[in-house]
Structure 1
Amino acid sequence: MPRQVDHVSRRRLIAEAVCDLVDERGLEGATLRDVAARAQVSMGAVQRCFRTKEEMLVFALGHISDRINERVQARLVRSPAQSPRTALGHAATEISLLREEHRAEARVWLAFVAQAAVSEALATTLKANYATLQEALTRLIKEAAEDSASLDPQNEARALLALADGLTTHVLIGHLPPQEAQAVLHTHLTALWAAPAPPPEAPNENAGP
């Protein structure tokens, strides 16, 4: 049992080293040798934990995805009395990685997103993470929408998830300052509850009285 616990801890230690190197140099800088040096373990230790570099990267992506999901869940349970709309705003803010303390995480996340376009293994992990986040946002929007029949919670969750990713990118490259990106996010969330009701169905002229 102690050996198994040590193995899990070592994999997480290596994942943190991968994230540090990706933040500094991009994915190409996360070689097995450099990861071993950063994690202060031997090459053999890295290879015993991961058979290939791709397997190591997939685990590291899962590690950072778990961190984001845990923060979202923590924000939701921190204040049980918060309204569903407030909870949704907190969750969207965590997902969009707009705060300064999450800037390194945002760089790592987007590096993995770019690589996932040519890596099926990374894409599979990303899709699973997006599905988890979309499910959480859908539930929150459904609760926050109350009796608004004009909203499609799942479709709005997809849009919000895409907006969060886009804002992460815009802040990271300097197109938008974090405060403006946060304002965009807030405006979008406010507009959800001001959505017009769907138009009434046109009467059927062929219908009888």
Structure 2
Amino acid sequence: MPKKVDRQERRTLIADALMRVAAEQGLEAVSLRHVAAEAGVSAGMVQHYFRTKDEMMAFALAVVRERGQIRVTEAMARLGENPSPRLLLRTMIAALLPLDERTRDDGRVALAFLAYTAVRPAAAPTLREDTAQLTGFIASLLPPRNAVAAAAGLLALMEGLGVYLLGGQYTTEQALDALDAHLDLLFGSTTGA
């Protein structure tokens, strides 16, 4: 009897290989051949699961997004019931930032995908939808005056901090201090967090 293959498991194996290639060599090194070699499978197998590089990239981003959602869910669950909006936002953003080695690889892939979509807008619809949802959620937690614009600014701060963390310009402490200072501007002092 032939061995049953778990399609999702194989796709995830390939996506993980793509993320390692992108994290170590940059997105320009990502090709079906390089990803296959990293995954220890044939190029034909990669093409069986992903017809194009865009499909492979979109799946890898979905894996990164899912990992981020798990980190956020776990971090927010530790807050208990009824955390303040400020603490909720700080916890969510800190869970999404590449603050340690485990999250840096995901951060590199997410950043690489952002750059990829800048030159291939057709690959970006999911990213636009995610951004709109996240902006709406953040705006719902902010004081009502200019909440949508403030949410967009907070997302931009998060992305900028992520870039500086990945580039080594900021330490974890510097990034969290900058986040806290910005949240203080939006909510007042940290005594209410």
Aligned residues of 1:32 and 1:53 also touching (Cα < 8 A): yes
How far off is 1:106 after superposition?
1.8
Q: Find the aligned partners of 2:167 and 2:79 in 1 and give their Cα distance.
A: 33
Q: SS of the counterpart of 2:80?
A: coil
Q: Find the aligned partners of 2:53 and 2:182 in 1 and give their Cα distance.
A: 39
Aligned to 1:110: 111
Q: SS of the counterpart of 2:58?
A: helix
Aligned residues of 1:11 and 1:49 also touching (Cα < 8 A): yes
Bigger-Rg structure (1/2): 1
Aligned residues of 1:96 and 1:167 also touching (Cα < 8 A): yes
Q: Find the aligned partners of 2:50 and 2:124 in 1 and give their Cα distance.
A: 18
Number of matched pairs: 186
Aligned residues of 2:14 and 2:46 also touching (Cα < 8 A): yes
Cα 1:64–1:107 change in 2 (3 A) is: same
Q: Find the aligned partners of 1:68 and 1:153 in 2 and give their Cα distance.
A: 24
Cα 1:33–1:100 change in 2 (3 A) is: closer
Aligned residues of 1:98 and 1:182 also touching (Cα < 8 A): no
Q: TM-score normalized by structure 2?
A: 0.85
Aligned to 1:163: 157
Aligned residues of 1:58 and 1:121 also touching (Cα < 8 A): no
Aligned residues of 1:69 and 1:133 also touching (Cα < 8 A): no
Poorly superposed stretches of 4+, deviation over 4 Å: none
Q: SS of the counterpart of 1:117?
A: helix
Aligned residues of 2:98 and 2:165 also touching (Cα < 8 A): no
Q: TM-score normalized by structure 1?
A: 0.79
Aligned residues of 1:17 and 1:38 also touching (Cα < 8 A): yes
Q: Find the aligned partners of 1:186 and 1:178 in 2 and give their Cα distance.
A: 12
Aligned to 1:123: 124
How far off is 1:178 after superposition?
2.3
How far off is 1:192 after superposition?
0.9
Q: Find the aligned partners of 2:72 and 2:136 in 1 and give their Cα distance.
A: 12
- Give percent identity, aligned residues only: 38
